[in-house]
Amino acid sequence: MNKKFYVTTPIYYVTAKPHLGSLYSTVLADILARWHKLNGDDVFFLTGTDEHGQKVAQAAQAAGKAPQAFVDSFIPDFIELWKLYSIDYTKFIRTTDLEHKQAVQQWLMQLMDKGDIYKADYAGWYCTPCETFLTETEVAGRTEPPCPSCNRSTVWLSEQAYFFKLSQYQDQLLKFYEQHHDFIQPHARLNEIISFVQSGLKDLCISRSTITWGIPFPNDNAHVTYVWADALNNYLTAIGYMQQGKEQGVAKWWPVDIQVMGKDIARFHAIYWPAFLMASGMALPHHLLVHGWITVDGKKMSKSMGNVVDPIALAKHYGVDQIRYYLASALPVSHDANFSHVELTQKINADLASELGNLLNRMLNLAQQNNVTVLPEQAHLSANADNLQKACLETITNFTYAIEHGQIHVACAAVKQLVGQCNAFFHTQAPWKQAKENQQEFVASLQATAACLVTIAHLLWPIMPTKMTQLLQALSVPVIPHNDLQAHLMGAWYHTFHLTTCSPLFERIEAPMEQQQIPAQPVLAVEEIDITDFAKSHLVVGTITAVQPVPKSDKLLQLTVDCGTYGIRTILSGVAKHFAPEDLQGKQALFVLNLKPRQMMGLTSHGMMLSAADETGKLQILRPGNPVPVGTRLS
């Protein structure tokens, strides 16, 4: 019976189109899935989208759409991109799928019955973009701690919530890590997880009552399920978990063999997820493959940074398989790596066009020029061919070891070395001379080259499925799964090849693509004004010396502001929901002083304080980086 292999990608947030970073996780998972298919395994490859939560609800609101319509609008972008990049997934799950929502509710009820979920009050600093509360260590006694993952500001939330008894699983988790050293690839990341767990686990808040865009808590519709308790379960609900009549799916595929993800979400997968599974009596994943980030100028590529690279534009300029090869070979899985058009161009031109594509074409051209269309199997190998055969065997072993340990870039490097050895063989044999001197040796050299190319093409097929299928077609070799791939590839050395024609596999890239980035936000048009118009506004730095609530107003605060030579002014500001008086007392801020006085709630305001809303909607007061004398005018 064939072995089963279950592999997953993270499910992607649907607040924007997928970018190169999202593609990276997906391509790595596809490579693993294809490798196992090639080895005759029965593969289930899951990907999908994470559609609930405050972040999505806020983005939908900003776009003026209902959340469901908003998330629906992104799905074609994901499906089409995966199709373009030959992502051969088995199932695309959406957390808004009815089966998923019902199964998550069943799961919650099961854990509530067991006593692993309880209701209590909760207050803490919350990062909306990451949908997570900060731990005490992360807060480190600060009053406005930034999020340790994304560095953005957090908001103070206080509400009744449901909790999962994570703290109960601390010892069991530590024991599990100790017994499963290879749970996380690369291994170094396991140490980070262990020290996090050792520092003490608190119970995990798994519901929210201030948002509605989520899976309603069973029997308590005032709460929705907090995104990670919803999202992580997709890996189970996709194969039929908690769905009547679908028990076979779970029995067949669970536990998952490998889960691919970026380092930013390793903690959720390596701590919360195993604890959820322990509580549910389910086996734990065999492995997590944690990759680094693709960076641009040292910063994570992300929509909010405005530095994302569009994979569709890349495919048009460089080709799909070329990009897959770059992602797999040029970025070491374990580290962050900078994306570079120059490096990408060099890699395509050197590894693919000059080394691999050129070798195939030279071999085919020589055969054609000498009217050879059949390369018969050889009873004996020359010493050079014998060495090349050994190199193939060694490469298969090294490639297999590397890919099965999540070292996809190392696996690629092993094949690159073999391509080099095959080129060296070709040059040493000099078949263009042999063709004139010894027809039998000529044919034998081409046959050995073809046999080696069969190994190369099969090993690279999971990475470049289209191009490697074309390469093999030129030798009339179909890509067929083999339980014993190594034996099959070594069999190619005793195979008769029927040659066909093949246009150059890889075109040289003449110039790197111009850096084209998707703007973080649509560029809005603004009406231009003359500098003299701007000079009319009187913007001044002032110090807030006193703050009072305004009776009967939940929005306004009355500020007394020392504006230096412009005097002491009373200024009303609509920030009461964002700041307590003591937050503003003694702080500097920027004020517009020459607006006409305005009546509000029976008081008069003699200016306006400047503020800006951050991503979560919380207002931030604009102020100089360091104190400056009061009354300083902006220039």
**Strand 598-600 vs strand 557-562: parallel, antiparallel, or unpaired?**
unpaired
Can you tell me which of 108, 117, 261, 356 binds ligand MSP, judged by CB under 6 A?
261
> How far, in Å, are 135, 136, 443, 569 from residue 142 at the CA level?
12, 10, 75, 32
CB of 54 to ligand MSP, least distance (A): 13
CB of 23 to ligand MSP, least distance (A): 9
CB of 267 to ligand MSP, least distance (A): 11
d(CA 188, CA 554): 51
Size of the site for ligand MSP (CB under 6 A): 20
Residue with tokens 């919530």: 161
Taking the least distance from each CB to ligand MSP, the nearer of 50 and 116 is 50
293 binds ligand MSP (CB under 6 A): yes
10 binds ligand MSP (CB under 6 A): yes
302 binds ligand MSP (CB under 6 A): yes
User: According to CB under 6 A, which residues from 11 to 30 bind ligand MSP?
Assistant: 11-13, 21-22, 24-25
For residue 590, is it left (φ>0), alpha (ψ between -120 and 50) or beta? beta
Collapsing DSSP states into helix, strand and coil, what is residue 126?
strand
Q: Please choose, out of 5-13, 354-362, 419-427, 557-565, the segment that lies near ligand MSP by the rule CB under 6 A.
A: 5-13
| Pair of tokens at residue 106 | 């069943």
If 0-12 CB within 10 Å is exposed, 13-18 middle and 19+ buried, where does residue 217 land? Answer: buried
Can you tell me which of 17, 36, 94, 300 binds ligand MSP, judged by CB under 6 A?
300
Can you tell me which of 294, 408, 454, 557 binds ligand MSP, judged by CB under 6 A?
294
**Residues paired with 125 in a beta bridge:** 156
CB of 412 to ligand MSP, least distance (A): 17
CB of 15 to ligand MSP, least distance (A): 8
Contact criterion met (CB below 8 Å) for 502 and 368? no
Span between the terminal Cα atoms of the chain, in Å: 76
Can you tell me which of 28, 46, 111, 265 binds ligand MSP, judged by CB under 6 A?
265
Taking the least distance from each CB to ligand MSP, the nearer of 293 and 399 is 293
d(CA 47, CA 26): 8
Shortest-Cβ-distance residue relative to ligand MSP = 262
CB of 307 to ligand MSP, least distance (A): 9
74 Cα distance to chain centroid: 16
Q: What angle do CA 58, 61, 67 make, to 5 degrees?
A: 85
| AA identity, residue 34 | R
CB of 110 to ligand MSP, least distance (A): 19
314 binds ligand MSP (CB under 6 A): no
CB of 235 to ligand MSP, least distance (A): 7
Contact criterion met (CB below 8 Å) for 588 and 542? yes
By residue count, the chain amounts to 635
**What single string gives the DSSP state of each residue in 162-223?**
EEE-GGGGHHHHHHHHHH-TTSEESTHHHHHHHHHHHT-PPPEE-EESS--SSPEETTEEEE
Query: Going residue by residue from 34 to 63, which x/- string records binding to ligand MSP, judged by CB under 6 A?
Result: ----------------x-------------
Contact criterion met (CB below 8 Å) for 468 and 479? yes
d(CA 547, CA 550): 10
**Strand 299-300 vs strand 294-296: parallel, antiparallel, or unpaired?**
antiparallel
d(CA 333, CA 371): 45
556 binds ligand MSP (CB under 6 A): no
The number of CA neighbours under 13 Å toward the Cβ of 502 is 29
Q: What angle do CA 226, 19, 76 make, to 5 degrees?
A: 75
The number of CA neighbours under 13 Å toward the Cβ of 50 is 23
Taking the least distance from each CB to ligand MSP, the nearer of 267 and 578 is 267
615 binds ligand MSP (CB under 6 A): no
270 binds ligand MSP (CB under 6 A): no
| AA identity, residue 418 | L
Q: Please choose, out of 10-18, 310-318, 353-361, 469-477, the segment that lies near ligand MSP by the rule CB under 6 A.
A: 10-18
Q: Please choose, out of 104-112, 181-189, 259-267, 594-602, the segment that lies near ligand MSP by the rule CB under 6 A.
A: 259-267
| Pair of tokens at residue 172 | 């069991």
Can you tell me which of 124, 214, 240, 262 binds ligand MSP, judged by CB under 6 A?
262
Taking the least distance from each CB to ligand MSP, the nearer of 261 and 402 is 261
Q: Please choose, out of 140-148, 300-308, 316-324, 483-491, the segment that lies near ligand MSP by the rule CB under 6 A.
A: 300-308
Taking the least distance from each CB to ligand MSP, the nearer of 8 and 611 is 8
Q: Please choose, out of 27-35, 292-300, 542-550, 601-609, the segment that lies near ligand MSP by the rule CB under 6 A.
A: 292-300
| AA identity, residue 386 | D
| AA identity, residue 186 | P
Query: Going residue by residue from 327 to 366, which x/- string records binding to ligand MSP, judged by CB under 6 A?
Result: ----------------------------------------
Q: Please choose, out of 9-17, 165-173, 361-369, 595-603, the segment that lies near ligand MSP by the rule CB under 6 A.
A: 9-17
User: According to CB under 6 A, which residues from 216 to 255 bind ligand MSP?
Assistant: 231-232
> How far, in Å, are 188, 189, 295, 335 from residue 185 at the CA level?
8, 7, 20, 12
Can you tell me which of 99, 264, 343, 441 binds ligand MSP, judged by CB under 6 A?
264
Taking the least distance from each CB to ligand MSP, the nearer of 232 and 388 is 232
Taking the least distance from each CB to ligand MSP, the nearer of 254 and 426 is 254
Q: Please choose, out of 299-307, 343-351, 377-385, 405-413, the segment that lies near ligand MSP by the rule CB under 6 A.
A: 299-307
CB of 25 to ligand MSP, least distance (A): 4
d(CA 279, CA 288): 19
CB of 103 to ligand MSP, least distance (A): 14
d(CA 226, CA 442): 68
Binding site for ligand MSP (CB under 6 A): 10-13, 21-22, 24-25, 50, 231-232, 261-262, 264-265, 293-294, 300-302
